[in-house]
Amino acid sequence: MGLTDILAKVTDPYERQARLYPALLAGLPVIVMATVLYGSNSVITAASTVAVSCGGLYLLANIARERGRRLEPILFASWGGKPTTQLLRHRDQNIEGPTKQRYHAFLSRMINLSFPNKNEEKTNPVDADDIYQSAVRWLLNHTRDKSKYKMIFDENIAYGFRRNAYGLKAIGVGICLVTSTWVLISEGIVRVGKVSGVLVNPASASTAVLISLAVSAMMLLVWLSYFTERTVRNAAFTYAETLLRACEVE
């Protein structure tokens, strides 16, 4: 069973892109190693096919989702609150004042609650945030139409993908290192002896070995340089701004 067959089994766009893709990226070095070094008839490939058929895809997606959701409140706390809540605060400068006033007026009507002014927000920020979060909850419930609010849906996927991948970062880095070590030792490129110590024989590396090592090295670079708190934060605030723009079209 190839990657195309695996992906075809997950038809929901969010489930596939935000949850399954991060898990598959984490396992990519193993998948490539099994394919190029051991072939389609290997025990590893057969075991992977059985695992996928017995709910492995669902498990992979849920592992990514769970790790991402556990990470989310930690990130929000370090950023100063949920992105949508921050953007609705008077003291936040990411959205210009007149636009924010329109958002406040619209959401206030929809949830039938008065929004705090600047002084009220400063005096009681906890209560103010509760009103903002209640308004955002209403907005989320009324923008679930994927065709009407496609941009919101797409940005939600982008955020979910980065958040879940960041949650899997330690696992992804570990798999890259373990896979590379296994290939180097099992293929005789690196030999460890009690007397001779460590011997490196790069001349014995076949094309398949080089492909496997290259993929592991590439994915290690991706995990370390791309899936960072900064990229997750960028996606989170982009999604939050896109969601709030729905106040202008509701």
Q: Are residues 148 and 240 located together in one domain of the fold?
A: yes
How far apart, in Å, do the first and last CA atoms of the chain sit?
A: 45
State the number of CA atoms in the 13 A half-sphere of 180 facing the CB.
14
Q: Both 240 and 150 in a single domain?
A: yes
Indicate if 89 and 148 belong to the same structural domain.
yes
The answer, as to whether pTM is greater than 0.85, is yes
Is residue 163, in this structure, part of any structural domain at all? no
| 97: phi then psi, degrees, rounded to nearest 5 | -55, -50
Answer yes or no: do 58 and 125 share one domain. no
In sequence order, the β-bridge partners of residue 198 are 192
How many structural domains does the chain have? 2
Interacting residues of 62 by C-beta distance below 8 A, sequence separation 6+:
19
Residue 193, φ and ψ in degrees, nearest 5: -125, 155
Same domain? For 73 and 91 the reply is no
Quick check: is 164 in a domain?
no
Q: Note down pLDDT in tens along the chain; length 250 residues.
A: 455 655 655 678 888 899 889 988 998 898 888 888 877 655 666 666 555 555 666 787 888 899 999 999 999 999 999 999 999 999 999 999 999 999 999 999 999 999 999 999 999 999 999 999 999 999 999 999 999 999 999 999 999 999 999 999 999 999 999 999 998 888 778 776 554 445 566 666 788 889 999 999 999 999 999 999 999 999 999 999 999 999 987 5
| Max Cα distance, the chain (Å) | 79
Do 68 and 31 sit in the same domain of this protein? yes
The three state secondary structure string of 86-110 is HHHCCCCCCCCHHHHHHHHHHHHHH
Q: Are residues 74 and 92 in the same domain?
A: no
Q: Is residue 194 assigned to a domain?
A: yes
Query: Which residue range forms the structural domain that includes residue 195?
Result: 3-79+171-227
Q: Are residues 101 and 203 in the same domain?
A: no
pLDDT at residue 43, as a whole number: 62
Same domain? 182 vs 64: yes
